[in-house]
Structure 1
Amino acid sequence: MASDNNLVDCMSEAANYQMPQSLRRLFATLLVYCNPANPKELWQTFEYPMSEDFLLIPNIQTDNIRILVLNDINNILHSLGHNINEFTLISNNNFSFSTSSTIMQQPTDIHLEQQQNAYNVILSRIFLNKPGAFFVDGPGGTGKTYLYRALLATVRSKGFIALATATSGVAASVLPGGRTAHSHFKLPIDIHDNHGCNITKQSSLASLIRDAKLIVWDEVSMARKKLIETFDLLL
């Protein structure tokens, strides 16, 4: 069992530079693997920084924001083989998340329209065989992962190669066939100016990357700048 003081220090440091969605992933990971003595206190301490993206939703109430944050943490815990009711984060330990869909009803139509536009634009570029790079941005719960999964499924269903990668292992685990960027593209962990990817031009991995019609990199904004530059050089 890790000291709760160490977990607080870990969350405090991450809150200085990580986006709320990544902070929620870290929080869920700490719950599962570090077994805090007082998870409720850890939740109360960092509820606000883990909620900041949901604060952008128009006309949403504070209680509804809490439900959305807990729901997202619960989804992450599910991907790790756990459930939020195993931890005492709130007074009602058997918390029901069935109301979250109602809370999100107002922005759902907007998000679906934005997802559809992104889906159409990206697929159009792919099937016209034109290169392009797209950055998908939005608060947690707006369906970015759903969009990524739809793009991957569509491209693969046409017999093309689509690679799914992410900056963190947790994010990679929710993408079909997902792997971390370090693993997928042989990126060095401790990267410097003169480093490149450990891939030869004649290797099967190089052929796979050349043949790929789509590469999805989730949480790319969490990666170091040099890592992106090295990947760009690889391409």
Structure 2
Amino acid sequence: MLLFCEVSSPLRVWEESWETLSEDILRTKRKLFRYPLLELDDDQKRTYCLLEIQELLRRNGKSLADFEDLPRPDVRLLETLDNRLIREEMAHNLLPDTIIHHQLSGDLNSEQRIIYDRVIESVYKQEGGFFFVYGPGGTGKTFLYRAILGRLRSEKMIALAVASS
């Protein structure tokens, strides 16, 4: 329509038809990423749909920019989808982590609680940081890690544990 018809209100057409236009996107992206559990929110679907329209227009010497009132794709919404680890973490089942967090966080000893609180505070304040927890076997390092990871993952945050050797 945009190529061969004079559409009086491209934005109105977009708003009324984007869902229909994007119906196949989720299936296509699941296949492309080889990730059958992939979920896309409406903003991501709209962005993928706009990118597809942009590509069709480009092949015919046009652009979304030729239609002033049409939205532009926000590719920042798609950046994390290119990373398999991030996709898997985003699709993580929250219930087990919520249960683990509630079970473990109440049983932290005073030293573990200090570390736990400091790590969580750093995350919420977006300070970042490098935390090195050490101690002999049986001192509760894994217990602490599981409590921290359970908390963050239960809140839909991406948390990966790494260990030095």
Measured against the shorter chain, the TM-score band is: 0.3 to 0.5
- Name the structure where strand makes up a greater proportion of residues: 1
Structure showing greater Rg: 2
| TM-score, normalised by the number of residues in structure 1 | 0.29
Q: Structure 2 length normalisation: TM-score?
A: 0.40
The higher-RCO structure (CA 8 Å, 6+ apart) is 2
